Chains A and B, each alone.
Chain A
Amino acid sequence: MNAAVASMPIPATQRWWQRCEDRLDLLSPRLNPLRHLGSIAMLMFWVLLASGVYLYAAIDTSVSGAYASIDRLSREQWWLGGILRSVHRYAADLFVLCTLLHLLREWVLGRFRGFRRMTWWTGTALLPLLMVSAIGGFWLNWDQLGQYSAIATAEWLDWWPLFATPFMRNFLGVSSISDRLFSLFVFVHLGVPLLMLFGCWFHVRKLAQPIVWPPRALGGVMLSMLLLTALSAPVLSHAPADLARVPVLPAFDWLLLAVHPLVAATSATTVWLALLSMLLLLLALPLWPQRSPPAVAEVHARHCSGCRRCVADCPYDAITMTAHPQRPGFALAVVDADACASCGICVGSCPSSTPFRSMARLVTGIDMPQQPIDTLRRMLRERLQAMPPGHRRVVFGCDHGAPVGALEAADVATFSLICIGQLPPAFVEYALRDGADMVLVSGCPESGCAFRLGQRWAAARLAGERDPKLRAAVPASRWATVWAGADGLAQVAAALDTLQQRVAREKTAR
C-alpha cells in the first residue's frame, strides 16, 4: 500500500487531461468549467426550457406569421424577448459544446467501461436527440437560415427510402409548405427535448446523488456570460424565407448546423455513414476487451453492523441492504459487482474499519481485497516503528491525485489508496497516537475526484461533518488536508512543509 507498491498505473492520456484540468483550476476547481461540463450542459438545458416557454408563447406557429412574430421580439421587445431569444440560441450552442466536451472528457479519462457502461450508453443515445433538437429550432424562425436548414435536412433525410412522398417536396414552392408542416416543426422542437429530458434521467440513474447543477458560483458565471453575449451580440433574423431563392447566410451557426455544409461538401451517404459509424463505435467502446477489472468490494458478514453508511456513501448505488443471515433483525450490505467501481469509499465509511479495534488482524464490514484495511494498519505500524522518533511524517494519498509516493523518505511514510475516500478518518488519530508527528491527507482536487464523491466524503468526515467523523479531540494543528491533482506533487510537498513548520512552532511554544 506504500505508494511505490500500490499505485495503479494511469494511462498517459488520462494524466495529460488531468494536468490540463488542474492547470485550469486558476481560482478554485469549483470555477473550472472543464470539471463541470455535464452539469453546465444540464443548466443550459433548463435555461433553454425556461427561455423556450416564453418564445413559444410569443411565436405565431404559422408559415406566414412565424418570421414576423420572432423578428418583432428582437426589434420591439429587445429588452426581454430579444434577450431571451439570444440567450436561447447561445444556451443551445453552449449546451452542444459542453455535451461534446463532456463526451470527450469521459472518453479520454476511460470512463465508459464496466460499471460506467450504462451511463455511457444512455449518454451516447442522447446525442442524436440533441442534434435533432438543435437543428429543429432554426426551422421555427422561418427566415433564410431556417429555410436553408429545413431544406438541407429534408434533402438529407430523403436519403432514406422511408417516405412515400419525398420530404423535400414540402419545400418546392410557397404553395407546398403548409401550417400543418409547421406544427410538425413545433412538435419536433418541443417533443424531442422532452424526450431528451427523460433520457437524461436514465443517464444519471446509475449515479448516487447525481450532480445536475454546477457549483453556484460557476452557474452564476455561466448565466452572466450568456446574458453578456446576448446583450453584446444579439441574435437577429436573416431575411424572411423565400423558397424561390437560394438563401443568403451572412451569419451561420457552425456549432449547431455544421452537418449541412458537411453534407454539401461530401454527400448524404458519406455523412450518414460517418455519423452512424461514429455512433456505433461510441456504443461499442464499453465492449472493447480490457485488462481484468479490479476486484470489487467484499462484505464480511460477521463484521457488518447493518448501519447503511456504505449505502449512503457509495457514489454508484452499488450497495443495497438485505436481511442478515446470522443476526436476526439486522441488515447486511450486499455489493452489486456489476455496479461496483472498486473505489473503496465504502471501506472509509464503515465504522468497523477503525484501526483502534483490538483484533490482531483487522477485519472490517466491507473491504477491498486488493488493499485490505488490515494491510494499511500493519504497514502504518511498521513504517512508524522504522522512522526515527520526532521525525515521523505520514502522508495518505490516492492513486488518481498527486503521486504522493514521490515524497517517500526516511522520515516520510506515504500510503496511496485507491481513492482517498477509502481512508477511515480514525487512521489519522491512530497514526498520531502511534507516534506520528503529523499526518497529511491528500486527494484529488475538489470536483475532480476520479470516483465522483471520494474527496467530498473524505473532507466531510475529517471535518466532522459526516459519519464516520474524525474525533474533535484530535489536535487540528497536527494534521492537514491538501487536494491536488496528478500534477500537484509540489502542492502536496508545500503543504507538508507548512504542516511541519506549524508542528515545530507548536513544539517550541510548549
Chain B
Amino acid sequence: MSMRPARWFGQILLYAAFATVIVVFSQWPPYRPLAPDQALLKISFLHHGQRLQACIEQTPEELAKLPPNMRAPTRCPRERAPVTIEVDLDGRPAYRETASPSGLSRDGAASVYRSIPVDAGAHRLQVRIRDSARDGGFDHQRDEVVQFAPLQVRVVDFSTEQGGITIQ
C-alpha cells in the first residue's frame, strides 16, 4: 500500500509528460523557412510557345479527300516550340531551363517554377525568354535593377497581356 502514492505520482507524471510532448512539439522549436536577411526570387511562367509550323492553306484536292464536316480551308499543325528561359542575377547565371510544351501532341503550355533565395538589397536582374523555334537569340528580354526587401517575395512571370516578362 505504501507504493500507492508513488504510483499515483508516477501516473500523473506519465500523463504530464505525454501532454508536454504534445504541447512542446506542436509549437517549438520555431522554424525559419528563410534567413531574415534574405528574400526570395520566384521564377514561374505558364506560357504557350509559338507554333512550330505556320498554318497551311489546303488545296481543293486535299479538301475533297476529307469528310464534309472537316473541310477547313487551313490546317494548323498543333505542336508548339519549347520555351527557354535564362535568368542572370548580378551578371551571373541564376537559372537556365527549357520547358517542353505539355500534352500528348505537345500543343499545351510550357511551365517552369523555381524559387531562389537572394540576399536582401538591390540586384540586377536579366531575364531572357525564347518561345519560338529560332536557333539563337531570344524573343523577350528584360533587364532592370530590382530592390529586394528582407523576406520579400518577387516573382518573374510572363504575361502576353502585360507585354511579356513581368517582375512583381
- Residues of A whose CB lies within 8 Å of any CB of B are 24, 26-27, 31, 33, 89-90, 93-94, 97, 148, 152, 155, 158, 164-166, 168-169, 172-173, 221, 225, 228-229, 232-233, 235, 243-256, 261, 264
Among B32-40, B61-69, B128-136, the one that faces the other chain is B32-40
Q: 10 more A-B contacts (CB under 8 A) besides A169-B113, A173-B155, A252-B27?
A: A26-B11, A27-B8, A33-B14, A172-B168, A232-B23, A244-B152, A246-B152, A252-B29, A254-B26, A254-B29
Q: How far is the CA of A165 from the CA of B103 in the complex (A)?
A: 11
A158 contacts across to B, CB distance below 8 A: 113
Residue contact B31 to A261, C-beta cutoff 8 Å: yes
- Measured between beta carbons, the chain B residues less than 8 angstroms from A148 are 33
The SS class assigned to the B binding surface is mixed
CB neighbours (8 Å) of B109 from chain A are: 164-165
Q: Give B141 Cβ to nearest chain A Cβ, in Å.
A: 21
B30 at the interface (CB under 8 A from A): yes
Task: Pick 13 A–B contacts, CB within 8 A, sort by A.
Answer: A26-B7, A148-B33, A152-B33, A168-B113, A169-B113, A172-B168, A229-B19, A244-B152, A246-B39, A249-B32, A251-B27, A252-B27, A253-B25
Residues of A within 8 A of B103 (CB): 164
Interface residues on B, range: 35 or more
- A247 lies within 8 A of B33 (CB): yes
Cα A51 to Cα B106 with chains together (Å): 48
With a CB–CB cut-off of 8 A, which chain B residues contact A90? 22-23, 26
Q: Shortest Cβ distance from A172 into chain B, in angstroms?
A: 5
CB distance from A199 to the nearest CB of B (A): 24
**In the assembled complex, how far is the CB of residue A455 from the closest CB belonging to chain B, in whole angstroms?**
21
Q: Which of A166, A232, A243, A255 contacts B44 (CB 8 A)?
A: A166
Report whether A33 and B108 are in contact in the complex, using a CB–CB cutoff of 8 Å. no
Q: Kindly provide the distance from the CB of B10 to the nearest chain A CB, expressed in whole angstroms.
A: 5
A255/B26 in contact, CB under 8 A: yes
Bound-state Cα–Cα, A339 to B26, Å = 40
Contact with B27, one of A225, A247, A253 (Cβ below 8 angstroms): A253
A166–B47 Cα distance when bound, in Å, is 12
* Interchain residue pairs A-B with the least CB separation, the first 5: A252-B31, A251-B27, A26-B11, A246-B151, A246-B34
User: Are B108's CB and A94's CB within 8 A?
Assistant: no
**A245:B152 contact, CB within 8 angstroms:** yes
Contact A244 B27 (CB under 8 A): no
Please report the C-alpha to C-alpha distance between residue A198 and residue B95 in the assembled complex, in whole angstroms: 46
Q: Are B26 and A256 in contact (CB under 8 A)?
A: yes
Instruction: Collect the chain A residues with CB atoms within 8 Å of residue B33's CB.
Output: 148, 152, 246-247, 249, 264
A27 contacts which chain B residues (CB < 8 A)? Answer: 7-8, 11
Which residues of chain B are within 8 angstroms of A168 by Cβ–Cβ distance?
44, 113
Q: Which B residues are CB-close (under 8 A) to A232?
A: 23
CA distance A148 to B34 in the complex (A): 11
CB pair B15 A169 closer than 8 Å: no
Contact A33 B26 (CB under 8 A): no
Which residues of the other chain, B, contact A31 by a CB distance below 8 angstroms? 11
Nearest opposing residue in chain A for B32, CB measure: A249
Chain B: CB-nearest residue to A228: B19
State how many angstroms separate the Cβ of B103 from the closest Cβ of chain A: 7
- A496 to chain B minimum Cβ distance, whole angstroms, is 20
What residues of A have a CB within 8 angstroms of the CB of B113 in the complex? 155, 158, 166, 168-169
Known pairs A166-B46, A169-B44; A94 contacts B155 (CB<8 A): no
**What distance in Å separates the Cβ of A339 from its nearest Cβ neighbour in chain B?**
34
Residue B98 CB within 8 A of the other chain: no
Chain B contacts of A247 at CB under 8 A?
33
Give Cα A158 to B111, complex, Å: 11
The answer to whether B32 and A172 have CB atoms under 8 Å apart is no
Does any Cβ of A come within 8 Å of B79's Cβ?
A: no
Task: Note all chain B residues with C-beta closer than 8 A to A173.
Answer: 155, 168
Taking a contact as CB atoms under 8 Å apart, the answer to whether B22 and A255 are in contact is yes
The 8 A CB mask of B76-118 against A (1 = contact, 0 = none) is 0000000000000000000000000011000011010101000
Q: Once the chains bind, are A250 and B30 in contact (CB under 8 Å)?
A: yes
- Of chain A, the residue at the smallest CB distance from B40 is A246
Q: Is B165 an interface position by the 8 A CB rule?
A: no
Check if A94 sits within 8 Å of B152, measured CB to CB. Answer: no
The docked-state distance in angstroms from the alpha carbon of A33 to that of B109 is 54
